[in-house]
Structures are given as structure tokens and as C-alpha cells.
């Protein structure tokens, strides 16, 4: 091409046994999802008194929270102008974009009448938290698509649309931050409408704040965790300096979260439930100690942030803390019929997760996510031409 930029083409990364297993599990899970759309929700263990299960708690609540790295990293790079983190922007944006696609597919699996999901567009209930979540997620997914589009445009060598997208990068990032802040916190707001369902220990007027703060911390941890494993898989150099820089902010976020949470528990008097029932106490201690306090202390230590194993394990703990928090508040301790996910529900969740890995893998193989030296020079030439 005249631009000197490669077309979209296959990059020869090895395909291991793990990826083959992902493809098989994904095919099985998506087949079960299609079967669920044919026969309805009777293949699940949900009921009128247990209206949601693992699809909402894990795939939606946890998945969207872990995808918060997309807006966090974009804000750090473009708003705070910390360009050293730019090398991880593309895979982070891609991870967020895929996560929101999977959230939409999960919602289609969970809804009793998925064919009516378009009603959200024309039938407005502005008093419903779900209305805000639905519109914010649709809008933010569109923003993520636009933020990721330069990767495709570079691969195609389309200079005019690439120049246009780059000219509106900052407004897009600001819009993405606003939309993500709104729906990350509104996921907690939605639960405030169900005081009779949520366990009184996890129920708090500050749930929107908790959901937002834990999403920021887990999103940055997810960025490091994903960067490490993708670098290993695709034979790239893991930039530990960048990872250390990102995780240096996590102790401040988690520290503030812990202070607010402890004060809230004491002032509201909900600590009494920890004395009355050992099961919530056990789960809460794992969530707070293992998912917040311990990783906060680990990330506060520069030696841990400079150690590859320490970085990855601390990131894993933060991600696990968010998932456990969402499970505790929206599944394990919700009032209603006894619930344990059916094999079909588990298969669909695994299938959608595998689909996300497949989409990420396809982007790495066909798009300049991790360009080799020749591609870097070609892309630089294109940027100079623009």
C-alpha cells in the first residue's frame, strides 16, 4: 500500500492446548445459550422468588466492574497526560469493549423476553436505575468502539477517518469517564431499591460509592493481570515499570474504601450481624482482608510492585475481592428461595467468558495490538502523514 501499513492479516502466534480447550468450551456454552433462547428459562434454577442468579452476579455485576480499567487507564493517559502508560491503552480498551459486549449477551440470556430489549430505547422510565444503566452501557459501548477504532483504521491504512477519530479522542475519553462513572455507581444504586432482598450487613446507602471505588481498583488490577498473561501468550515483553506505576494508585483507592466501609459499619450498627451469624462474618472477612486490605498493603510496598509474582498475585486478590463482594451482596446472602446455578447456567457463563478470550485472541492475531518493529515503523509513518 502507499501508506506502507500492513493490511489486516494473520500474525503467527502459537496456538496452544489451552486455546483449543477455550474454543471447545466456548462452542458448548454458546450452544447451551442458543438452547436457552429456544426453550426459555426453565433450564435454570431461578424462580419467581429468586429472579436472578450467576448471570447477573458474575457476568454482569462482576464483569462490568472488572472492565473499569478501560476508563481508568484512558483517563490517566489522556486526561492526566501520563504517556508512559500508552503502550497498554489498546489492549485495555479492547478488554473493556469485549467485556461490555459480553454483558449485553449475558443480559439477552437472562431476560425472560430478550426480544423486547429494544423497548428500553423508546419506553423511558427515567425514575428507574435500570434505565440509566441500560442507556449508559449502550452509550459507553459505542464510545469504546470509537476509542478502539484507530487500531482497525491503522491496519486498513484509512488516514481520513483515523485523523477524525484522533481529533475527538479527548472528548471521547471525557464522555467515557462520565458514562462509566454513572453506571458503575448505579449498579449499586439499583440494589438500594431492594432492602428486603439484600442482607442488612451488605445493604448500605453508600453502595453506589462502594461499587464505584472497588471497580476502579479492580479495573486497574485487571489491566495488569491481563497485560501479564497476554504478554506471555503472545511472546511480548511485560513492562513491569508500567504495571508498577498503575498499581501504585490502588492502595489509595482501597485504603479510602476500607476507611469508609469500617466507619459505615460502626455508625450504622450493622456490625451486630457479624456477631450473630458466623457465615456472613467468615465471608466478609475473606472479602475485606483478602480482597482489599492484604493487596492494598502489598501494592503499597514498592518491592512488591517491582516483583513480577507479587504484582500478579496482588492483582488477582483485588479482582477476587470485587467478585466476592458482588457475590456476597447480590447472590450468596440475598433473601429468597435456595439457589445454586444449574449446569446450563454455568455452561453459558463459561461459554461467554471463552467467547471474550476468543475475541481478544482474534484481535491480537489480526490487528496491530502488539506491533513488531517493522509495523511500529509503518504506524509511525502513518501518524506522521496524518
Residue 244 near residue 221 (C-beta atoms within 8 A): no
pLDDT value, residue 373: 43
- Total domain count, the chain: 1
Q: How far apart are CA 29 and CA 312, in angstroms?
A: 28
- Per-residue pLDDT at 10: 57
What pLDDT was estimated at residue 359? 93
Kindly report the pTM of this predicted structure: 0.87
> What backbone torsions phi and psi does residue 14 show, to the nearest 5 degrees?
-65, 145
Beta-carbon count within 10 A of 272 CB? 12
Q: Are 10 and 365 in contact (CB under 8 A)?
A: yes
Asked, for residue 241, whether it belongs to a domain, the answer is yes
- Find out whether 71 and 96 touch, Cβ atoms under 8 Å: yes
> For 269, left (φ over 0), alpha (ψ -120 to 50), or beta?
left
Q: What CATH number has the domain bearing residue 66?
A: 1.20.1630.10
Domain-located, residue 116: yes
Backbone φ and ψ for 47, nearest 5 degrees, come out as -150, 180
Q: Which domain holds residue 369?
A: 17-385
- Local mean pLDDT, 10-residue blocks, the chain (386 residues): 49 76 94 92 89 89 89 82 79 90 90 84 86 88 90 86 89 88 88 88 92 93 90 83 90 96 92 85 92 95 91 95 93 86 94 94 82 45 42
What is the spatial distance between Cα 163 and Cα 36, in angstroms, rounded to a whole number? Answer: 44
Asked if the structure places residue 10 within a domain, the reply is no
Within its chain, how far is the Cα of 191 from the centroid? 19
Give the DSSP letter string of 282-299: HHHHIIIIIIIIHHHHHH
The predicted structure's pLDDT at residue 12: 65
Q: Where are the alpha helices (DSSP H) in 67-128?
A: 69-74, 89-110, 119-122
Judge whether 7 lies within some domain: no
DSSP letter at 336 equals: S
50 forms bridges with which residues in the sheet?
A: 47
What pLDDT is stored for residue 378 in this prediction? Answer: 40
Amino acid at each position: 500500500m502507499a501508506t506502507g501499513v500492513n493490511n489486516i492479516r494473520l500474525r503467527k502466534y502459537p496456538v496452544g492446548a489451552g486455546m483449543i480447550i477455550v474454543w471447545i468450551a466456548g462452542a458448548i456454552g454458546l450452544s447451551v445459550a442458543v438452547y436457552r433462547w429456544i426453550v426459555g428459562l426453565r433450564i435454570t434454577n431461578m424462580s419467581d422468588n429468586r429472579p436472578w442468579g450467576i448471570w447477573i452476579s458474575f457476568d454482569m455485576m462482576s464483569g462490568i466492574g472488572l472492565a473499569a480499567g478501560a476508563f481508568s487507564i484512558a483517563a490517566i493517559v489522556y486526561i492526566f497526560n501520563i504517556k508512559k502508560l500508552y503502550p497498554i491503552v489498546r489492549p485495555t480498551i479492547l478488554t473493556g469493549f469485549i467485556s461490555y459486549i459480553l454483558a449485553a449477551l449475558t443480559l439477552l440470556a437472562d431476560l425472560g423476553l430478550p426480544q423486547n430489549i429494544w423497548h428500553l430505547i423508546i419506553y423511558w422510565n427515567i425514575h428507574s436505575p435500570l434505565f440509566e444503566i441500560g442507556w449508559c452501557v449502550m452509550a459507553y459501548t459505542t464510545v469504546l468502539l470509537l476509542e478502539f477504532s484507530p487500531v482497525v483504521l491503522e491496519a486498513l491504512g484509512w488516514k481520513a477517518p483515523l485523523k477524525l477519530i484522533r481529533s475527538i479522542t479527548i472528548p471521547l475519553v471525557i464522555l467515557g469517564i462520565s458514562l462509566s462513572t454513572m453506571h458503575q455507581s448505579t449498579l449499586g444504586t439499583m440494589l438500594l431499591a431492594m432492602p428486603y432482598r439484600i442482607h442488612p450487613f451488605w445493604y448500605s446507602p453508600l453502595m453506589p460509592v462502594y461499587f464505584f471505588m472497588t471497580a476502579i481498583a479492580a479495573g486497574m488490577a485487571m489491566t495488569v493481570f491481563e497485560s501479564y498473561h497476554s504478554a506471555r501468550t503472545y511472546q511480548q515483553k511485560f513492562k513491569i515499570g508500567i504495571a508498577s506505576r498503575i498499581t501504585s494508585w490502588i492502595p489509595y483507592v482501597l485504603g479510602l474504601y476500607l476507611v469508609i466501609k469500617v466507619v459505615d459499619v460502626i455508625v450504622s450498627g450493622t456490625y451486630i450481624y457479624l456477631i450473630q451469624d458466623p457465615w456472613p462474618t467468615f465471608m466478609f472477612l475473606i472479602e475485606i482482608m483478602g480482597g482489599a486490605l492484604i493487596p492494598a498493603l502489598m501494592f503499597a510496598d514498592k518491592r512488591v510492585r517491582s516483583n513480577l509474582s507479587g504484582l500478579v498475585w496482588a492483582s488477582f486478590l483485588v479482582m477476587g475481592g470485587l467478585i466476592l463482594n458482588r457475590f456476597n451482596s447480590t447472590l450468596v446472602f440475598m433473601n429468597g428461595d435456595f439457589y445454586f446455578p444449574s449446569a446450563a447456567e454455568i455452561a453459558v457463563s463459561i461459554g461467554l467468558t471463552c467467547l471474550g478470550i476468543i475475541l481478544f485472541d482474534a484481535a491480537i492475531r489480526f490487528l496491530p495490538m502488539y506491533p513488531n518493529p517493522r509495523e511500529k515503523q509503518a504506524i509511525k509513518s502513518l501518524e506522521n502523514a496524518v
